[in-house]
Amino acid sequence: MSVPDGPIPMHEISLTKDVRGALAAGHPWVYRDAVARGEAPPGSLVRLVDRERRTLAVGFADEGVIALRILGLTRGALEPDLLEARLRRALEARAPFLDEGTSVYRWVHGEADRLPGLVVDLYDAFAVVRVDSLGAERFYLGEGDAPLVAALRAARPSLRGALLRKGRQETRSARLLFGEAPPDRLAVLEHAMTLLVDVHRGQKTGLFLDHRASRRRIRELARGRDVLNLYGYTGGFSIAAGLGGARRVETVDVASQALGLAQASWAANGLPAEAHEAYAEDVPAFLARAREAGRTWDLVVADPPSFAPSEAAVPNAMRSYRQLHRACLRSLRPGGLYLAASCSSHVGPERFDRTLREAIEKVPRHVRVLERWGGGPDHPRLPAFPEGDYLKCVLLGVD
């Protein structure tokens, strides 16, 4: 977005609740129930004011429970070429954390990069973009995608093309924003590990980039172990385990197309075909069958899709996590390791820990928490925005 010179036309919204403390601490949203009713179309610039009409924040309007996504606390935050400037800063902030063997990472992580509602993932020379609301789509893309396209090209001239990903599940779609389209199977590097990705049809933008540190840790722990990767998707954890010297790796996911990419990535890394088995099967059914057969592993990874897409789904999600943890803990050999992960923002760290405790109560094993982590430095979090700290990873040891 390029902010015009001179007075900037903005809608004005006033507070009905005192959220000035949250704003000062850096929370990037103002909820609908905290503002007076007004006519501010999604995507339009908004000035949030107090009773004396003093500016408290500026941002853009949205629909639903979020009334305002904040770009800054003063009018001066709307700098010229705002979008390009913040894209450049996001690139600069990630540079110290990348190595030569990594060509895929998150370029923009929405609110934490002061570009609320926008995600940009970099897959080598291609950018894949997501906007998570109507307001964000209208603000960043505007008429004919021009604001975002110009900013992406200016901030990273070496881009060969950019895709816009929209929708979820059956409504998923991809549209070329500019340049050339990425190939259907795009090879990228993560810590010198080759991963094949479908950025057109894959989940999220193609890969779960927030697990880069997790995959590296599994690679470090896998030597000589039999590894089970549940909800394995395109096999990132499996490839990492194979390269780490795992004795045998098994990948389970209900999506056979994703498992095809897992097999192809396994081969692309020069790993022996006989050391990897893929199962296109529902995970609970696979674990039940494995328990009946008395099968066990040395290392189990479980990174399921979000069990709680809304607050109303939390009770069922908690039950699903408990059942998954119990089944995984029972499938471990003595001295085994269990990496339990959750991407459900509505199941925060305390709730997730409770599912682990309640699962352990039903399993006669001595279980220890060895490590915890979340997203990497390309997925930064804001201290005042717990909603953005969605990823939980807990490594357990079982005796």
For the stretch 95-100, contacts whose Cβ atoms lie closer than 8 Å and that sit 24 or more positions apart, written own/partner, are 97/376, 97/377, 97/378, 98/378, 99/191
| CA 268 to chain centroid | 25
Contact 48, 56 (CB under 8 A): yes
Q: Considering only CA atoms, which of 320, 303, 328 is closest in space to residue 355?
A: 320
Which of 246, 302, 343, 398 is an active site residue? 343
Please report, for residues 93, 259, 365, the alpha-carbon distance to residue 96 in angstroms, rounded to integers and kept in the order given: 7, 33, 42
Considering only CA atoms, give the Rg of the chain.
23
Handedness of CA 203, 267, 223, 297 (dihedral sign): positive
Active site annotation includes 343? yes
Catalytic residue IDs: 343
